[in-house]
Structure 1
Amino acid sequence: MSGREHTGRGEAPREALRLENVGKVHGTDGNRVRALAGVSLRLAAGTFTAVMGPSGSGKSTLLQCAAGLDRPTEGRVFLAGAELAGRSEAALTRFRRERVGFVFQRFNLLPTLTVLQNVLLPAKLAGRRANRAAAADILARVGLGDRLHHLPAELSGGQQQRVAIARALVTAPDVVFADEPTGALDLRSARDVLALLSEAVRVHGRTVVMVTHDPVAASYADRVVFLADGALAGSLDAPTAEAVAERMTRLAAAVERGAAA
């Protein structure tokens, strides 16, 4: 993991992600579901943002559109200054491999590859020379320096998620997208994973965007962005678990009242 890039005095922070009036509609005429409705959002580089909202609010759709995994129906997405629209699927795949890291609730490790081989996989898929020393170093940093040649089945769930984080960070991506990364973990392992994501931001200058339903997980972020019915519904800076839980309770109640109206 490379060090944080510092900007000069008075220089605006680099922009890691920008969404301009992004909308997403699933289905066809007669069976259309609007998952996102005019979402505009800017995230600076070197920040940790949590995305929260009631079930069906559009959290995962937002992440998928922002990461180039899905194409918005309308609006524009810029990642590290590059617009995603207009690229072929092959070009988008190359872009993601070079500029984006992913961490999911399900660890998505290949069971027949060792820990080290799993971390080296993105470079191999991108056609680049695998840097075994860098991969071993990052695995040591996440506490798995003595597990390089173990298979995923020989690790705990928390250890497997740490492998997934190392795999996401080894290429020094512009943005790491994490979709419920602690959802399948026990409390201690979840805290370890969140601490690693925080370290990636604060020490190594990465940008993390995390979808979560857990107020405690969200409290590790610099900012929480709330969604409701596919639209932005406010944000919270320097969040605490208590403040996030209170905001989520109020938001869920408002959505329920709207549905009942």
Structure 2
Amino acid sequence: MTDVVRLDAVSKVYGKGQGAVAALREVTASIPRGTFTAVMGPSGSGKSTFLHCAAGLDVPSSGSVRLGGTELAGMGETELTELRRRRVGFVFQSFNLIPALDVVENVTLPLRLAGARVDREWLAEILRRVGLEGRAGHRPAQLSGGQQQRVAIARALVTRPEVVFGDEPTGALDTMTAREVLGLLREVVESMGQTVVMVTHDPVAASYAGSVLFLADGRIVDAMSAPTADKVAERMTRMGAYA
């Protein structure tokens, strides 16, 4: 397996002088292609900063971030925007759908912004996989929270990205709906060969991933393969997350 994302000695410092805060400290990590990785840690551990640096949304203070074979350091904002639009998918806690657009229009928005052609067969395939075939003409207000997040996942997949980043993607959903969405993300990895990196604070959500990276004080302090909710929660407790 090749690495889709690679961070080498990445640090991120916000502010200067005595007010400087180190959000990431010399973080080195690799995300293999076709895997589902959860990133966990206490509040303030650097989870969101890790995701933002890995996805090219934020620029590290030092170190190297590679997406596929592309080094992100030195790229301008226009280049980074173009790279994210073509090669990265995003799913956020707030679904970030446009109320005036229907499902198909929301899903294909990244393609239209990029001036790319919509592959109708691929669009139909994605809508089928996320369970929205019968909702194509609906607007967000006509959909449940779980259906809205499915639209967001379809939107993240429509460009055939190299990696999908999820930032607390089930944080706004009830327990049953969250499990459906997590099952869908796992299916996207297993049946479509997609790569998913998900930041979460929820041990149950992390248990759907194939592996978990644990962050504390801006450093990766542990990793776990074949996680279970109980094992993840126990490890988090020892990190002081729930103390």
Which range, TM-score by smaller chain?
A: over 0.9
| Partner amino acid, structure 2, of 1:123 | L
SS at match of 2:50: helix
Q: Aligned equivalents of 2:77 and 2:186: distance in 1?
A: 31
Q: 1:211 aligns to what?
A: 199
Following superposition, the deviation at residue 129 of structure 1 comes to: 1.1
Shift of 1:188: 1.3
Unaligned runs of 5+ in 2: none
- The secondary structure found in structure 2 opposite 1:124 is helix
**CA-CA distance at 1:152 after TM superposition:** 0.4
Structure 2 Cα separation of the partners of residues 189 and 84 of structure 1: 36
Name the residue aligned to 1:42.
30
Q: CA deviation at 1:137?
A: 2.3
Distance across 1 between alignment mates of 2:232 and 2:158: 31
What is the SS of the residue equivalent to 2:170? coil
In structure 2, the residue corresponding to 1:203 is in which secondary structure? helix
SS of 2:222 mapped into structure 1: strand
Q: Which of 100, 125, 141 is matched with 1:137 structurally? A: 125
Deviation at 1:136, TM superposition (A): 2.6
Report SS of the residue matched to 1:77. Answer: strand
* Paired residues of 1:46 and 1:207 also in contact (CA < 8 A): yes
* Alignment deviations for residues 79-138 of structure 1 (CA, whole Å, 9 cap, x no partner): 112111111111111111111000000000011100000001011111111223322321
User: Per-residue displacement from partner, 1:224-247 (whole Å, max 9, x unpaired)?
Assistant: 000000011111110000000000
Structural mapping, 1:219-238, within 5 Å: 219-238=207-226
Unaligned 5+ runs, structure 1: 1-12, 257-261
Which of 70, 79, 89 aligns to 2:67? It is 79
Q: In the alignment, does 2:87 pair up with 1:99?
A: yes
Structure 2 counterpart of 1:169, from 146, 157, 168? 157
Scaled by the length of structure 2, the TM-score of the pair is 0.98
Partner of 1:61 in structure 2?
49
Q: Is 1:15 aligned to residue 3 of structure 2?
A: yes
Paired-residue identity, %: 62
Matched, 1:32 2:20: yes
Quote how far apart the aligned CAs of 1:72 are. Answer: 0.4
Deviations 1:193-219 (A, max 9, x none): 111110111111111000000000000
Query: Aligned partners of 1:186, 1:144: CA distance in 2, in Å?
Result: 19
Matched, 1:245 2:216: no
Contact 1:136 1:148 in 2 (8 A): no
d(CA) in 2 for partners of 1:202 and 1:140? 16
Q: Deviations over 1:153-202 (max 9, x none)?
A: 11000000000000001111101000000000011110111111101111
Separation (CA, whole Å) in 2 of partners of 1:39 and 1:85? 15
For 1:219, the aligned partner's letter is S
Give the corresponding residue for 1:111: 99
Residue 57 of structure 1: SS of its match in structure 2?
Answer: coil
Match for 1:242: what amino acid?
A: D
Aligned partner of 1:93: which letter? T
TM-score by length of 1: 0.91
Q: Distance in 2 between matches of 1:80 and 1:192?
A: 30
CA distance in 1, matches of 2:104, 2:219: 40
Structure 1 Cα separation of the partners of residues 104 and 204 of structure 2? 31
After superposition, the CA RMSD in angstroms is 1.2
* SS of structure 2 residue aligned to 1:189: helix
How many pairs are equivalent? 243
Q: 4+ runs of 1 displaced by more than 4 Å?
A: none
